[in-house]
Each structure stands twice: as C-alpha cells, then as structure tokens.
Amino acid sequence: MASLSPPEEAAASYHHRHPKRYSSSNGVELVPDFVKRPKISLPPQSSNFISPSEIESEFSHHDPDVARINNGSFGCCPSSILALQRDWQLRFLRQPDRFYFDELKPKISESRAVIRRLINAEHDDEVSIVDNATTAAAIVLQQTAWAFREGRFEKGDAVVMLHYAYGSVKKSVEAYVTRSGGQVIEVQLPFPVISADEIVGRFRNALESGKANGRRVRLALIDHVTSMPSVVIPVKELVKICREEGVDQVFVDAAHGIGCVDVDMKEIGADFYTSNLHKWFFAPPSVAFLYCRKSNNGARDLHHPVVSNEYGNGLAVESSWVGTRDYSAQLVVPSILEFVNRFEGGIDGIKKRNHDSVVEMGRMLVKSWGTQLGCPPEMCASMVMVGLPVCLGVSSDSDVLKLRILLREKFSVETPIYFRPPGEGEVDPISGYVRISFQVYNKPEDYHRLKDAVNELVREGFRCTSL
Ligand SMILES: Cc1ncc(COP(=O)(O)O)c(C=O)c1O
C-alpha cells in the first residue's frame, strides 16, 4: 500500500471491504475514473447490489436502541466511508507538507468534478466545496451586503425569501441584508399545503410587493425543500417567475437537495444553488457545494467569508484553503459515489425508494392516529409531515420541544415536531406535526415504534400541558 497514491489507497481500501465492486485485472488496484465515465450513475450488476446485512453493517455505529427517523437533521455516514475518511486524515498527518503541496488541491478538484457531473453544471469552476449550507448562504449574502454598502443597490431594494426559510439563513439575511439597508420580504406559505399552485401564487404576490414604489428585487432566496414544516418547493417555476419579473439574482437553498430531490443546474436555472452532501448523500460531517452560474456577472465578486491566502483567486480556489483544518470529508466524495452506486439505480434509486417508503410510513401513521399528511405525496421527498392527534394538545413551540424530549427519553424515538398555530376561526385544527425521514438504514419498525408511542400517550389521556 505504501507505494500507492491516496485515491489508489482509498480505492484499495474500499476494495478490501467491497471486493465485488473493485475488481482489478492486473493486480494493481484501480482508481475509479469518474471523469472518463460516460455516465455517473451506472448501476452495478444486480448480483453486486448491496445486501440488507451489508447495509446494517454500514450503519452499525448507530445507536441500536433508538428509532432514528430524523435523517433530515444531521444525515448519516456509512462506516466504509468513515474508514476512508480516516485514511485521508492519516495520509495528511504522515507527511503534511507533501500532502498540502502535492495532493490537497488536485483531490478537492476531483471531488468538485464529481459534483459538477452529478448536478449537471457546465464547468467545474462553477462548483465550490464549502462546509455546509450555512456557509454557502453567508457567501451569497455577503455579496449582497457589499452591493448595498458600495452603492450598487439602493437602500430599500428588496430581498425576497420564504417565511419558512431555515433559521440560520434567516439570521444571515438579518446580519447581511437588513443591516446594510435592504428590505426583506417574506413569502407567507400555507400549511398544510394542498398544491404547488398555492406557493406559486403567493410567491408572485411577494415579488409584486418587493417591486412596489420603484424598488428592485435584488435577490430571491428560495428553499428547494423547506426544513420545518418540510415541503418540496416548485423551484423551477419560481426561478422562471423571477426571470420574468426581473429579479437580479436567485439563490436556491437546497440544504436537503442532493440525494433527496432532482438537482440539475441547467434545468433549475438559478444563479446560486447550495446543497449539503452530509444530509442525503452519505458524506461525513460536513460537506456542501455552492454552485455559482458562470454567466452570472456577480459570480466574480464572491468570496469565502473566511479570508485566507487564496483571496481573490476565485471562490472555488478560495474555498479549497480556508486555513489549516481537516479537509478529509471533502476528499471522500468520489468514494461516496461508489458507495451509492452499490444500490440499485444509484442515488436516484435510493431517492425514489426513500420517497415511496416515507409516504407509506406517513400514511400508516395518519391512518392509526386519524390525522393527515402536511402535503400531498408529490410535494414531499424523503421527509413528510404527519399530523399528531389533536387531543395531545400541542399549543406552543415549547410544547413541541418538550414532547420531542419525551419521545426521545421515554420511547427512544428521535423525530422533530412542528407547532402549527391555529388559523383564524379554526376550531381544534391539527396543531402538531412530526417530520419523519426515511433513509436506507430505516426499517418499518422504527415508525411503528413512533405510532405505538403516540397511541400510548393518547390512551393515557396525556396532554402537553402536563409537561
Ligand atoms: C433549508 C435548510 N437550509 C439550511 C440548513 C443548514 O444546514 P447546515 O446546518 O448543514 O449548514 C438546513 C439544515 O437543516 C436546512 O434545512
């Protein structure tokens, strides 16, 4: 092994664990050559598909006592990828100087090339690897802040975002846009959602108010899959509307994008798009990409918020060195592609099966609890909102937090819960929704445990006021 270069070692190490996937004809372990492949998601031969027991072993580090039906929050990483990550860490520690000068940048570039092909972007330099969606949002919003401060945007010009935008991203908007004099317009969305048209209509109205009094909408910030409550947003339609309405730039926050929904940069057409790889693409914490369309003039003035030696050399290069730190999570991206291709249909197959299963489990729960799903199946991906029985008396954000802790501590079920305040004139609506996720390691019994736990609480006459 000592004479092999890192990816060869990584591949050899992977081969050692999964001999079926890496046969070598000449005794030398081959590095998978993703760049030369005509297609990236070629499924393996059916006889080579990962088996249920192999899946179990890949996730055997999960706490076996917990029904972990919350992949959406922190994702998961199989043990074979964690082992490869460790190999990269040791490779660095063995001879850091050589690794830094000879290996790091080319290897990050390989990961970027893999991502570029996965997301159907035009150029590798449209893809930067960053830590997470939060960092990606800071990069885009920092640029907006500079435009206000340097007088390219007028005070009062607007940024439009969804009311359900993720908390950290909303805080970034406050820090970068509001403080710089920008007006922030939130698109109020209905929940439960009945159709994508409802969202499209409300988005159009918000753009109208953004443009009132001659103001310009400088940026639209659109989630691909909202976090809480979780709904798939019709991003393609919304991006198209932004173009028709003269919005300067569109940024899609798809923290739950890759591995969860279709992620095709040419089809979606946004200026910026970020997705975590550690949520639904099995990356170790933490890796995300930020796509910046090359034809977008603003792309040249994007910078990583942590300024380092590469400042001014383009965002992708800036992001590949933000000071001394552990870059290993970024280096295993090509190996993750190999991992997902052990499943029938690769990442697309995983995505479809997760969706079908989460809908099936959601339907099983609403049938048992006499409630409803938060959106039609075509508006959810690998997560779905499931109404809790009204008699639990969920009536505040603090209730849902306490109920979540109860489910964790008493029933060993891990799932986030959403409080939906009653609308005007509504009598006894469903006010609590659990967000369930489905990932390859999940089993129906995880969801049955949740079902039984809630039914037990109902039988006992439990109400959140008792917490
Ligand atoms: C829509 C959305 N945006 C941003 C984030 C933040 O992701 P991260 O914590 O990986 O930066 C999340 C996390 O769940 C999210 O759901």
Task: Output the pLDDT for position 46.
Answer: 55
Q: Is residue 242 part of a domain?
A: yes
Q: Which of 305, 336, 367 is the last residue in one of the domains?
A: 336
Q: Is 361 in the same domain as 319?
A: no
Q: If you measure from the C-alpha of residue 370 to the centroid of ligand 1, how many angstroms do you get, rounded to a whole number?
A: 31
Number of independent structural domains in the chain = 2
- Which residues fall within 8 angstroms of residue 174, CB to CB, at 6 or more apart? 184
CATH code at position 219: 3.40.640.10
Task: Output the pLDDT for position 160.
Answer: 97
pLDDT reading at 411 higher than 50: yes
Of the listed ranges 40-49, 70-79, 166-175, the least confidently predicted one is 40-49
For 430-444, give the secondary structure using H, E and C: CCEEEEEECCCCCCH
Q: Which of 296, 314, 336 is the last residue in one of the domains?
A: 336
Please state whether 407 falls in left (phi above 0), alpha (psi between -120 and 50) or beta.
alpha
Q: Is 145 in the same domain as 180?
A: yes
Choose the residue to mutate in 131, 253, 263, 272 for probing ligand 1, maximizing ligand atoms within 8 Å of C-beta. 253
pLDDT reading at 16 higher than 60: no
Mean per-residue pLDDT for 282-295?
Answer: 96
Residue reference for tokens 């969305």: 189
**What does each C-alpha distance from 148 to 142, 154, 157, 243, 380 come to in angstroms?**
10, 6, 9, 21, 36
CB burial string 245-255: b at 16+ within 10 A, e below: bebbbbbbbbb
Q: Is the CB of residue 80 below 6 angstroms from any atom belonging to ligand 1?
A: no
Q: Is 247 in the same domain as 316?
A: yes
pLDDT reading at 94 higher than 90: yes
Q: Is 371 in the same domain as 296?
A: no
Q: Is 291 in the same domain as 371?
A: no
pLDDT reading at 115 higher than 80: yes
Q: Is 318 in the same domain as 371?
A: no
Q: Which of 53, 23, 71 is nearest to 436 (CA)?
A: 71
Q: Is 230 in the same domain as 355?
A: no
Q: Is 246 in the same domain as 382?
A: no
Task: Output the pLDDT for position 261.
Answer: 98
Of the listed ranges 16-25, 229-238, 372-381, the least confidently predicted one is 16-25
Q: Is residue 284 within 8 Å of residue 278, measured between CB atoms?
A: yes
Task: Output the pLDDT for position 196.
Answer: 96
Task: Output the pLDDT for position 47.
Answer: 67
Average pLDDT of the chain is 91
Nearest CA to ligand 1 atom 14: 73
Please, where are the H alpha helices in 309-396?
A: 315-319, 328-331, 333-340, 346-369
Q: Is 366 in the same domain as 268?
A: no
Q: Which of 165, 166, 148 is nearest to 157 (CA)?
A: 148
Q: Please report the atom of ligand 1 found closest to the CA of residue 228.
A: 16
Handedness of CA 173, 177, 178, 182 (dihedral sign): negative
**What does each C-alpha distance from 203 to 189, 197, 210, 277 come to in angstroms?**
9, 10, 10, 28
Range of the structural domain that residue 316 is part of: 110-336
Q: What is the full DSSP assignment across 24-35?
A: -SSSSPPPP-TT
Q: Is the CB of residue 255 below 6 angstroms from any atom belonging to ligand 1?
A: yes
Return the percentage of the chain with pLDDT > 70, whole number. 89
Task: Output the pLDDT for position 41.
Answer: 53
CATH code at position 404: 3.90.1150.10
Q: Is 435 in the same domain as 387?
A: yes
Q: Is 232 in the same domain as 352?
A: no
Q: Is residue 268 part of a domain?
A: yes
Position with higher pLDDT, 456 vs 295 = 456
Task: Output the pLDDT for position 14.
Answer: 45
Confidence of residue 11 (pLDDT cuts 50, 70, 90): very low
Confidence of residue 7 (pLDDT cuts 50, 70, 90): very low
Mean per-residue pLDDT for 151-158?
Answer: 95
Q: Is the CB of residue 143 below 6 angstroms from any atom belonging to ligand 1?
A: no
Residue reference for tokens 């000592």: 2
Neighbours of 466 (CB within 10 A): 10
Question: Can you state the percent helix, strand and coil of the chain, rounding each to 5?
Answer: 45, 15, 40
Q: Please report the atom of ligand 1 found closest to the CA of residue 137.
A: 4
Mean per-residue pLDDT for 1-20?
Answer: 42
Q: If you measure from the C-alpha of residue 336 to the centroid of ligand 1, how many angstroms do you get, rounded to a whole number?
A: 20
Choose the residue to mutate in 162, 166, 383 for probing ligand 1, maximizing ligand atoms within 8 Å of C-beta. 166
pLDDT reading at 24 higher than 90: no
Q: Is residue 257 part of a domain?
A: yes
Q: Is 396 in the same domain as 282?
A: no
